Chains A and B, each alone.
Chain A
Amino acid sequence: MSTVENRTQKGEVIIKVTDLKKSYKETIHALRGVSLEVKKGEVVVIIGPSGSGKSTILRSLNLLEIPTSGKIYFEGEDITSHKADLNRIRQKMGMVFQQFNLFPHMTVLKNMTIAPRKLLKLTKEEAETKAIKLLEKVGLADRADAYPSQLSGGQKQRVAIVRALCMEPDVMLFDEPTSALDPEMVGEVLEVMKRLAKDGMTMVVVTHEMGFAREVADRIIFMSDGLIVEEGSPEEIFDRPKNDRTREFCRRVSSQ
């Protein structure tokens, strides 16, 4: 935890996780006691080999995975408590999936406006104005009436990102957002994410894009076997890794 306190980034703690454990069928331990903090405005990138639990921890943050034990606090509220209003909390945490998960039976515009209209009670006009503005920012305003099946992978993921943004979340969670994309489309999605980070959005990103991690992350968390092995600034993790496993992982990904 020492690295967290050394951070220069200012701001209050927005997500706090203490000793989170997750096991399936009591034999498979995906998370074996993870504690971390995310501050407002911070971009945290979680890296690690597959099966290390990085997706599980991200999905636990908005309780798409129910942890076996441990606590998660979001804006000071214990969201693992059964009294927590999950639906309200999830509105404040946007999530972007590897497989985009756009709603195939709705147009791009409908995809983006349904949640604000039904949950934030915006009028159709308000929601659509907001959606169009966001689509313009990601260069997809002309595809507002298209259906997801008519979009390329990169376009789909950009829509997925602005769909989450329509709810004006306090935190954005990205679960390997570029892993399902063809290589030539990775750039356009990362570009959107970089812009989002620059605008001060708090972001937790699970990714294999080491270039992106190095450029955008305020802090990198390296996970392996359901534990946080090392965390620190990009320079600390990539250039001067302390742990053998981190070193091995960085060497392997940089040689690719």
Chain B
Amino acid sequence: MDAARHAAVFVIQRLLQALGVMLVILVIAFAIRSSLGDPVRELTGQAASESERTALRHELGLDRSWPAQLLDYLKGAAQGDLGTSYIYKRPTVAVILDKFPASFELVLAASLIVAVLALPGGIAAAVRPRSWTAKLILSVSVLGVSVPVFLTGILLISLFSVLLGWLPAFGRGEVVSIGGWETSFLSLDGLAHLLLPALTLSSIMLPLFVRLIRSAMLDELGRDYIRTARAKGLKPPRIWLRHGLRNAMLPIVAQGALQFGNLLAFTILTETVFQWPGMGFLFLEAVTRADIPLITTYLVAVGAIFVIANTIADLLSLALDPRVTFSEADA
């Protein structure tokens, strides 16, 4: 069988899996609905009478059992209607899609920072594992995970915005719109606004990748072919980069794709500190104001992102590793 067909079968399988995952998410989301808070309370002033609230609750269909509400939702979903946000008063899908570019770019920028810093850092820590540089790199990177993201953000703001006045403290600044996608990358103001949040977000992933690259490299550097290469008299940098790193890349790339999805889903804290108008911030807002339709659609969207990221990670490993084929993946 040809590879293209295998690939198609693989992707279709994954799509079916994705649907299953989303259905499970939906069932859970609807089952816990009533404990997410009372949207009617959020929609009415404190002095509104109980009868007004009851009427509104009925209008929203919140007085019905959760399986009935779920069934309604699925019926709507079949026609492409995933509900209307209470606070934004627009279809939930449209609200989330509006916020997607901001989060995506934040994660992309953070990933770039991780790549630029973690690769040299990880390699350095692997080739001279006992040197002080290696120890310094490892301990500094530990700092990244041990300081809460929230605090990292506030510290960066205090330093670069308040004390030095170099960078803005909040928001996305000026964005350039390209075919409906609003990007921060094409204006200086946009980039300046992006830098601190991206640094903050990268601080979570940086240590992970430094360690990952280090251990993958250590693994490869201990192998026979490296010893052979050394014996042949090749220069160390060539051995590290052309031989060691190339083979070590496989798990790193797979992890990278997985963590990219992870970052996208967990931008909530960073976005809150920087008032970054992305999906994470939107989610927190929805939870605080008990915007149940928006919470539901967000959970489904995050489920979809995870499945997609996983699929891409698998496809990447397949493409990179000649030892694995689609038929094996099928088995």
Bound together:
no
Binding site for B on A (CB under 8 A): none
Binding site for A on B (CB under 8 A): none
